[in-house]
Amino acid sequence: MLGPGDEEAAAAAPGGGRGPAHFPVHESVFKGDVRRLSALIRTQDIGQKDSHGNTPLHLAVMLGHKECAHLLLSHNAPVNVGNAQGWS
């Protein structure tokens, strides 16, 4: 049973409820885990979209995780990619 706000958090989570293993970079950004993100950048696709069409950079900006956003940008994360709502 979901509590107040839990439904919104699940929708905002990487993959919208799909397991975090599908989107490890998104998960590290969602959690604000800069150390893990730094390690994942070396082996993962930082331009991958989740089921909502969001890239890790979309999440970093939407959640206000500035360090994650700066790290992604310094590794050439794509900036002109729209999500399912057309936001880029």
Secondary structure (3-state) at 7 = helix
pLDDT in tens, the chain (88 residues): 434 443 444 445 554 555 556 899 999 999 999 999 999 999 999 999 999 999 999 999 999 999 999 999 999 999 999 888 888 8
CA–CA distance, 25 with 23 (Å, rounded to integer) = 6
- Distance between CA atoms of residues 61 and 5, nearest Å: 20
Residue 86 lies in a domain: no
Q: How many CB atoms lie within 10 A of CB 59?
A: 26
In a domain, 3, yes or no: no
Q: Read off the pTM.
A: 0.76
**Residue-number span of the structural domain to which 52 is assigned:** 11-74
Count the domains in the chain: 1
38 located within any domain: yes
